[in-house]
Amino acid sequence: MTEHEDPSRDKLKQHFAKRVIHQARQVLEIWQRLQRNQWNEDGLQELSEAALLLQRYAERFEQAEHMQLAQGINRNLQAVSDNRGRLNSELINELNQLMQRLSRTGLRHGDRFEQTVLPPLRKPVYLALQHLERAEHLARQLEFFGMNAQPLDSANAFRAAMLERHPAAILMEVDFSGPGAGVQLAESVQAGLEHKLPLLFYSHDDTDTPTRLAAVRAGGQEFFTGTLDASSLLERIEVLTHVAQYEPYRVLIIDDSRAQATHTERVLNSAGIVTRVLIEPIQALGALAEFQPDLIILDMYMPDCSGPELAKVIRHNDRYVSVPIIYLSAEDDLDKQLDAMSEGGDDFLTKPIKPRHLIATVRNRAARARNLKARMVRDSLTGLYNHTHTLQLLEDARYRAQRDGQPLSFAMLDIDFFKKVNDNYGHPMGDRVIKSLALFLKQRLRKSDSIGRYGGEEFAVVMPGTDAATAHQVLDGIRQRFAEIHYPAQQQDLSCTFSGGIAQLGEGMDSKALSQQADQALYMAKHGGRNRIEVFRAG
């Protein structure tokens, strides 16, 4: 028997690999805790220690992929430490990408697209449903969305699974293992936990108020009835388990005093807030377009251009009407402060200010501004960007691509025979398919790609730094996997496909011409048989 055929050696290697994967999960859990509780020094130190331990395990047990990722994470954390805890968007983006890649190691081997980004759901979801076949079918559907789900066929199997490992969330049928027993089982399991698990209840038939009340008292955060739809379930679990990427607030600091600007920058960076400093206020509009801040901190008195004057200039641009402007100044005359506020300002902070006060004010204002902007620029059904904002993002990407000499691709996607879905299955099913494709795209495209609902059943994707051939490879892979999803329906389950057209930015081309070319490529895909992706070719 050769060395490679030694079963005991293979078993040992598998054991070591599990140790490494367990430590990788530890890193991911600390990272997500850091995101939820805002950036802080203690959490950063804990993450650094966990990543170093992962690197040591990976080196010792010869796990090359984990070793490479751990080294990358440690390099980035060291860069943050060397910079006195100060952050920049490049470091955060790099850490996000490394964590996303780490979340896929050992969990999914089917998808190997470099551009694929899946949410870091590192633990399984337990499915405790009366009918095991239904649970297994749902688990297969959830796999298409990158979720690891574990069907359980009895109360004993559920308790055993809970003793072995806590899940990311629990889906419990109210009558699992007996009438009303599922509620009691979930309640008893949750009772002993310091941190309650996200708990969702399900009933095949509509239920009465006492049953729903019992579910609420057991800690249920959602109640599904009727047919279980994988995309709706996943959408709710993602909200409950906070799997979104860490997106730090972005603050533009405009102050002619470099010393004051640097001090403000250090205070905010230490709290996980990414900043950009402008000493020359005349450069403000260019920096706004490039940096896209959540909030602006503005000095009141600057040579050549006062703070209130600059605030009025900023407010003249429709894109920045809702961006909060906070004056930070030594001015303590209340009348002058109120005058400045009337010129487009949202708040006035007087120097010197305590760091905690500054951080809390920035976070609160930025959070509200982000929520407001999301309502203004996003489609209510899917959460994707709306038509108008998608075109603005395309124009921004075109400008950057031509300035930096980088490729840019734009894709338009359209669900095939969508009218038949609405006619045969009803509009609620049509909405479900639209939401499902939106979720699929969000999961499997990069954070740097912008996805919009162009209208009806049509979607658009802006793909910076991507040539048409790569865009085709990525979107065609998504197309193939999307076609495998089944939506429970009467008579027989429904499955859908989509077609797509891709265009790559050419020299001297404007964004309107680019979108027209993508539209023409989509037309070619539709008339070429549908369920395909075409790249625009001139002539």
Instruction: Using alpha carbons, select from 133, 150, 130 the residue that is nearest to residue 142.
Output: 150
Q: Do 319 and 458 reside in the same domain of the chain?
A: no
User: Rounded to the nearest 5°, which phi and psi values hold at 168?
Assistant: -70, -35
- Check residue 37 and give its pLDDT: 61
- Percent of the chain whose predicted confidence (pLDDT) is above 70: 89
Mean pLDDT of 120-144: 82
CA-only gyration radius of the chain, Å = 26
Tens digit of pLDDT for each residue in 288-305? 888 889 999 998 888 888
Q: Do 233 and 256 reside in the same domain of the chain?
A: no
Mean pLDDT of 347-356: 84
- Cα separation of 495 and 509, whole Å? 38
Mean pLDDT of 482-506: 88
Tokens of 167: 């899940």
Q: Do 517 and 406 reside in the same domain of the chain?
A: yes
Whether 99 is covered by a domain: the verdict is yes
Q: Do 501 and 412 reside in the same domain of the chain?
A: yes
How much helix, strand and coil, in percent to the nearest 5, is found in the chain? 55, 15, 30
Whether 429 is covered by a domain: the verdict is yes
Q: Do 284 and 356 reside in the same domain of the chain?
A: yes
- Check residue 463 and give its pLDDT: 96
Which of 27-41, 91-105, 270-284, 387-401 has the highest mean predicted lDDT (pLDDT)?
387-401
Our count of domains for the chain comes to 4
Question: Which residues does residue 202 pair with via DSSP β-bridges, in sequence order?
Answer: 173, 224
Average pLDDT, the chain: 84
User: Is residue 440 a contact partner of residue 495, using CB atoms and an 8 Å limit?
Assistant: no
Tens digit of pLDDT for each residue in 443-458? 788 878 999 999 899 9
Which of 19-23, 67-71, 341-345, 477-481 shows the lowest per-residue confidence on average (mean pLDDT)?
341-345
Tokens of 400: 């950057």
pLDDT over 90 at 411, yes or no? yes
Mean pLDDT of 316-322: 82
The whole-model pTM stands at 0.58
- Cα separation of 88 and 93, whole Å? 9
Whether 266 is covered by a domain: the verdict is yes
Instruction: Using alpha carbons, select from 160, 132, 19, 493 the residue that is nearest to residue 149.
Output: 132
Please state, in angstroms and as integers, the Cα–Cα distance from residue 177 to each residue in 27, 124, 162, 199, 215, following that order. Answer: 36, 21, 16, 17, 16
Instruction: Using alpha carbons, select from 228, 220, 168 the residue that is nearest to residue 203.
Output: 228
Whether 97 is covered by a domain: the verdict is yes
- Check residue 313 and give its pLDDT: 87
Q: How confident is the model at residue 28 (pLDDT cuts 50, 70, 90)?
A: confident
How many other CB atoms are found less than 10 A from the CB of residue 360? 12
Domain limits for position 37 = 16-104
